[in-house]
Structure 1
């Protein structure tokens, strides 16, 4: 029986998304592709570890044989894998100032690579968009730091005269500079508060998302506990589902979590993964973004899953983070993949707007960044990339295996 694990994106990417919505989109495609059947779900909360749970969304087909008899058949099950709290639990305990400093240090550390990559040929084609995005992050983090001098704005000339006997001249000049800076910053700060009342919240979310991803990729922070919990969920599925063949449905950073499990560093994938994971689906996978700015992340991977899985990759040319696994930013078959280009995905292009509708204004307003959430909207009834995935799974007969 095919069984799926849904691994969503992180932070802003996962906003208002759930495994129930994801399953509902597949039900809609099932209804469009069949006649004489209706579909419904049953949702159970299961605990695969003492403190870790998952929602199991089971899709049933209901069909009438005649006027008096009918049958219900389980056809697919989605389990969700929640890793956001595990990844963020240390960072969320920090103050807004500490989060802001972490974001500033991240941008500062990556700045040489950001500049260098603008002028070299690489497989990642959206370097200008990400450079611009990181410069905005730099401005946001600096803005908070520049608010700090407002706390010494009470220092006036008489104060400085009074404390002059206790300070050196250069110290007094520094205080004057900070005082003047605070006076100049306060109007700008006021404008930010008036027009962007949620700026602190936005900064916290941005800092949290990018710094936790950086810590995961750069230092492996929380990676062991996340991968251990994913192994435990797969073990639970093996023990509680009938002959399961596991499909990994992943979106955004969730695809990196899945690739880490399939092609780990140092250790082999667990036996259940090697034997029972048959399909990987990635949507908006930031593979090329990470490979471009973290050169060693995909090196020295254990090659046990090559040719054991089928890989379907959905991408948008307008998405600044999505990977098309080609050397050019155009539509076509993937030319390379992971592990020295051995494991190559089946590419599926999904667009909601023409490429030529994007211009300088779109670039300046970060439209390419917001397009990372364009694969589906908040409603489960709208069109989405799910239809393309569903059709490809039908073509490869993965609804039956």
Structure 2
């Protein structure tokens, strides 16, 4: 049985509203496959991370872009990749995605391409998403004293807001989403900063729940979109404490600031995230990372999200990290799943073709362009 050839790029514009840089250096097989999983451990003996939904999706979509047949053996693909070199592989893969704008989380940067380098490989534009915890940690590294830290941190957030199009928090990793939703009092913040800085060494991560809340509220006061990791990720988090429904009281409390909240990833809580986007006008959601990892089941998960999420509140993203292949698999899985899903609803008479096109454009690019104030004319 043969399958219909897919177009080389998405047939509509794509704004990647959450992503990361990719590795600059050649990768060993073990380094490459480590990017195919959220686990922080090697594959179990006798197994490989290529034998996953993501691994199979990669083997479907990426080899033809490097001159190989789809579903070729992993060893053949990795040999071809090494033959082409990192820069050419990046150009061929990112250039085939059709992404016009890359909103890059700069909280992870060691050994990775910059936002500008990532976007340039695709002929697109780069935009920064500033990670709050990284801003706080860098401020603490240079402040020296509690007083200086508390004086400089709001300025660091405001300075980032001058050039970034949004913020991101990984409070789900550092504490959990079951935090006190109220804005912490100044004295509470001072005591927490005193305690953290008293024992902190340069480079130490921020885990204090009061300071994490203070960061969230400081960012909310800028009214820029605030992205929040929810749902699954690596074993640093406790999955049951990353359910976006735990944010309900914070969602209510932050509404007067005018800050839009963007729920990232969300799986397996994507239906709960869709409810929050349905119930609260300043909440948006995406299924980045999720569609990549569920692979051939992407259409089912996307359909579940669209059961309740308003169509203008869902956005496309890849959450690609480390491998340009993850940009390709994310865009292909999303494009393929959304097209098949909406085409089916049109055939059933549930939707019109015009509405399907309009919703496709909103999810793929339009909503992100509006929310992050991007100029579509030059994208």
Query: Structures share a fold, TM > 0.5?
Result: no
Query: Which structure dedicates a bigger proportion of its chain to strand?
Result: 1
TM-score, length-scaled by structure 1? 0.30
TM-score, length-scaled by structure 2? 0.31
